Amino acid sequence: MTIITDERCTGYHAPGHPERPQRISATKARLRQQTDLPLQWTQPGEITDQDLLRAHSAAHLQRLEEPRDFDMDTAWLPEIHLHARRSAAAALTALQLALAGQPAFSLMRPPGHHATRDRAMGFCYLNNAAIAALAARARGVQRVAVFDFDVHHGNGTEDILLDQPGTLFVSVHQHPAYPGTGTSHRGSNCRNYPVPPATPATEYRAHLQHALADLETFQPDLLIVSAGFDAYIRDPLARQMLEIEDFHWLGAQIRSLGRPTLTLLEGGYSRDLPELIFAYLKGISGY
């Protein structure tokens, strides 16, 4: 497993905001001190406007540089467009590794799955998963799946990939919850599994298994995982009941699909995030 990160991604913050630098710094410290799982480390490579414009409009890229907040949750901050580009670049580095047979995890911020083609929202500025999926298609990968298990629906990824040939988007998420989308399947390729608040972990796993069955049926040549750890019982931004062992189980289930896989960090705002990520990485690595 290769971890992709860049220390500059902890160099911005909005006071009091839950999407804080410690999400990365604490996780990096936990992964560096552990001895159970062999890890390699690398930094993001380069990304071009062409890579971004497959998923986003030129107007959106320009808007990211304009010093006005995007919404109450998504602030404009100095150099936020550069931070977002590095996070998207990490997704492409993870893509390159996965296509070479090396599983990869992008430990970066900002997250991406709420960003639509034309709008930054929900802590997200550029849609890393969609950028990677469309880059893979442009490189000739025939069947690309995105599996989003963040507790909030990946509305932006759905917006960008809806009815895109050769792609599948599958999401398991709490509803009702932000952003209020994902109540039913959409188009020819977007499968949504909304889960009520406070669903017992055994029932939540059943919803995840429906999503995993969709992935198995699709038989992707590449699997992109939008990994949000906010369905955890002690996460402050949702009302679900998953424990640490559930994320290990989910990683193991993804591994059992036997597909080239890259994972991108989305949400997860509890103090236990480093342990949740570590459990997931052990599961997806077969430990």
pLDDT digits (tens, 9 = 90+) for 20-59: 999 999 999 999 999 999 999 999 999 999 999 999 999 9
> What does the pLDDT read at residue 37?
98
* Whole-number Å distance between alpha carbons of 10 and 32: 17
Largest CA distance in the chain: 46
Query: Tens of pLDDT along the chain (287 residues)?
Result: 999 999 999 999 999 999 999 999 999 999 999 999 999 999 999 999 999 999 999 999 999 999 999 999 999 999 999 999 999 999 999 999 999 999 999 999 999 999 999 999 999 999 999 999 999 999 999 999 999 999 999 999 999 999 999 999 999 999 999 999 999 999 999 999 999 999 999 999 999 999 999 999 999 999 999 999 999 999 999 999 999 999 999 999 999 999 999 999 999 999 999 999 999 999 999 99
Helix or strand or coil: residue 159? Answer: helix
* Whole-number Å distance between alpha carbons of 189 and 173: 17
Phi, psi values for residue 119, rounded to 5°? -145, 135
Name the β-bridge partners of 170.
147, 191
Q: Is the backbone of residue 198 left (phi > 0), alpha (psi -120 to 50) or beta? A: left
Catalytic residue among 56, 60, 83, 114: 114
Residue at token pair 């025939």 = 142
Q: Cβ distance 173 to 193 under 8 Å? A: yes
> What does the pLDDT read at residue 22?
98
Task: Sheet with 40-42: list strands edge to edge.
Answer: 40-42, 2-4, 104-106, 261-265, 222-227, 144-148, 167-174, 190-195
Contacts of 48 (CB under 8 A, 6+ apart): none
Name the β-bridge partners of 172.
193
> What does the pLDDT read at residue 89?
99
* Whole-number Å distance between alpha carbons of 205 and 212: 10
Name the β-bridge partners of 194.
173
Q: In degrees, to the nearest 5, what angle opens at C-alpha 206 toward C-alphas 204 and 212?
A: 110
* Whole-number Å distance between alpha carbons of 60 and 136: 22
- Domain with residue 134: its CATH number is 3.40.800.20
Q: How far is CA 174 from the centre of its chain?
A: 16
- Residue 49's domain comprises 2-285
> What does the pLDDT read at residue 176?
98
> What does the pLDDT read at residue 167?
99
> What does the pLDDT read at residue 108?
99
Q: Model's pTM, two decimal places?
A: 0.99
> How many structural domains does the chain have?
1
Crossing angle of the two packed helices 128-138 and 80-99, in degrees rounded to 10: 50
The one-letter amino acid code at 249 reads W
Q: Is 13 annotated in the active site?
A: no
Q: What is the 3-state secondary structure (H, E, C) of 107-143?
A: CCCCCCCCCCCCCCECCECCCHHHHHHHHHHHCCCCC
